[in-house]
Amino acid sequence: MRLSTKGRYAVTAMLDLALNGVKGPVTLAEISENQGISLSYLEQLFAALRSKELVRGVRGPGGGYYLGKSADDISIANIICAVDEWVEFTRCGGRQNCSRGSRCLTHSLWDDLSAEIFDFLANISLGDLVRRGAKEAESKPPALNVVANGEDSRAA
Amino acid sequence: MRLSTKGRYAVTAMLDLALNGVKGPVTLAEISENQGISLSYLEQLFAALRSKELVRGVRGPGGGYYLGKSADDISIANIICAVDEWVEFTRCGGRQNCSRGSRCLTHSLWDDLSAEIFDFLANISLGDLVRRGAKEAESKPPALNVVANGEDSRAA
DNA sequence: TAATTTCCGAGTAAATTACTTGGTAATGAG
DNA sequence: CTCATTACCAAGTAATTTACTCGGAAATTA
C-alpha cells in the first residue's frame, strides 16, 4: 500500500464529491475551490478515477462528476490504488534467488504487513466516512467545527 | 499518515535488524546486502531512526546497530514517522477561514481517517511481525518460502 | 597502528508531484 | 443555432522528494 499526498488529494476530492454530489453533479471547479487543488491536477486525478469507474463525468453546462457507484461500494483503497497505482516493493516476489535465509522472511513479512494495511483501507468506504460526518454535524454546532486531534502525540 | 517507499525501506531495514540482531549488532553493510538498499541511503535512514532512539549505533570493528528498545515497544508508525516526518495535509487545521460548509467537514473527515490509519500502524509492533515470522518459519519448509498474495485482487 | 564501522555533509540523477498552457468534444441554456 | 460551460486530453515544467555517490571525520577494536 502506498499513501502519498497524491492519494490524499484523491480521497479528499472523492469525499467532497460524496458530500456535495447528493443533488446533481459536482464540477471540478467547485472541488478545486473547496479543497484548494489546481483544476488541471484534479483533471488528471479524475481521469484515473474515471478509468477505474469510481466517478462518472457529464459534459456541458450543468455537468460535472457523479460517483461511479454507491459510496458504500467505494473503498479508500480503491481510490488510492486508482491514482497511485500499486508498485511491487520487494523485487523477489517469492520466486527469485531470494528464497533462503532471513532476507526473504523480511520481504515476506513486509508483504504480509502491506496486505494488512491494504485490507484495512479496503474495509473503509466513502459511505462510512460520509455517515461519520453526518453524525459529527448533528452532534456539534456547525460553526464550532473544530478538528480535535493531538498532532504532537503521534510524532513521538 | 504517509506511507512512501522511503518508509518501506525503513520498516524493511528495521525488520531485518530485529530478525538478525538477536546476537550482537548488525552492520549497515549487511542490511544493505540483504535488502538491496545502498549503504549511504541506509545511513541517512538510520540517522533519522537514531535521532528518535529507535536504533543504537556502536562504532568500530564488530560494531553495528542494535534496536534502541524492545521490538515490542517499536511500532510501524514509529518507524515511518521517524523517516517520513509527519506533514499536516489540510492547511486549515480547524482554525482558519475554512470552518463553514462542507469544506472543513471534508478536511475533518480526512483528519479522522488519517488518525485512524496512524492508530492502526501504531498498534503493530516489530515484535508482532517477528513472532509472525517465527510461526511461518516453523509451519513451512524453509525452501518453499512462497509469498502467497493475490496481487491482482487488490488492483480492482 | 590499522582496519572497521558509525557518523556527517555536500552534491546529484531520476522520479514524482503539482501545476500551467492550450487546446478539442460534448451538451445544455438562450 | 449559437454560445457558454463543462469534461476531456496532451505536452511541458518548476519544485520537491527519492535514492544514491563521494569524500571524508570520529570512535573503537584487533
What's the whole-number average pLDDT of chain A?
82
Q: Which nt has its C1' nearest the CA of B85?
A: D17
pLDDT computed for residue A112 by the predictor: 86
Nearest by CB to B16, which of A86, A106, A143?
Answer: A106
The domain at A5-144 falls in which architecture?
Orthogonal Bundle (1.10)
Please compute the mean of the pLDDT values over residues B62-85 and round it to a whole number: 94
Higher pLDDT, B41 or A95: B41
pLDDT computed for residue A143 by the predictor: 45
pLDDT computed for residue A4 by the predictor: 87
CA/C1' separation B39–C10 (Å)? 17
A15 min Cα distance to partner chain B (Å): 6
- Which percentage of chain A shows pLDDT scores above 70? 77
pLDDT computed for residue B95 by the predictor: 45
Sign of the alpha-carbon dihedral angle for A22, A142, A130, A20:
positive
What's the whole-number average pLDDT of chain B?
82
pLDDT computed for residue B156 by the predictor: 32
pLDDT computed for residue A146 by the predictor: 39
User: What pLDDT, in 10s, does the model give residues A36-46?
Assistant: 899 999 999 99
**Dihedral (Cα; B130, B80, B37, B27), 10-degree rounding:** -60
Q: Report the first-to-last Cα separation within chain A, whole angstroms.
A: 23
Query: What are the residue boundaries of the structural domains of chain B, listed by start?
Result: 5-144
User: What pLDDT, in 10s, does the model give residues A101-154?
Assistant: 666 788 888 888 888 999 999 999 999 999 988 777 676 554 433 333 333 333
Nearest by CB to A149, which of B8, B19, B111?
Answer: B111
Higher pLDDT, B22 or A142: B22
Please compute the mean of the pLDDT values over residues A39-64 and round it to a whole number: 96
Please compute the mean of the pLDDT values over residues A51-63 and round it to a whole number: 95
Helix orientation angle between B39-51 and B28-35, rounded to the nearest 10 degrees: 120
Interface of A with B in 122-151 (CB under 8 A): 122, 124, 129-130, 132-133, 136-137, 142-149, 151
**How many residues would you count in chain B?**
156
Sign of the alpha-carbon dihedral angle for A43, A47, A50, A56:
positive
- Integer Cα distance of B6 and B83 in angstroms: 7
Residue A72 has pLDDT above 60, yes or no: yes
A120 min Cα distance to partner chain B (Å): 8
pLDDT computed for residue A88 by the predictor: 65
pLDDT computed for residue B46 by the predictor: 98
- Integer Cα distance of B30 and B23 in angstroms: 14
pLDDT computed for residue B104 by the predictor: 77
User: What pLDDT, in 10s, does the model give residues B134-144?
Assistant: 777 677 554 43
pLDDT computed for residue A147 by the predictor: 36
Higher pLDDT, B73 or A156: B73
Please compute the mean of the pLDDT values over residues B120-141 and round it to a whole number: 84
pLDDT computed for residue A45 by the predictor: 97
Evaluate whether B108 touches A145 at the Cβ level (below 8 Å).
yes
By mean pLDDT, which of A53-57, B36-40, B97-101, B114-118 is the weakest? Answer: B97-101
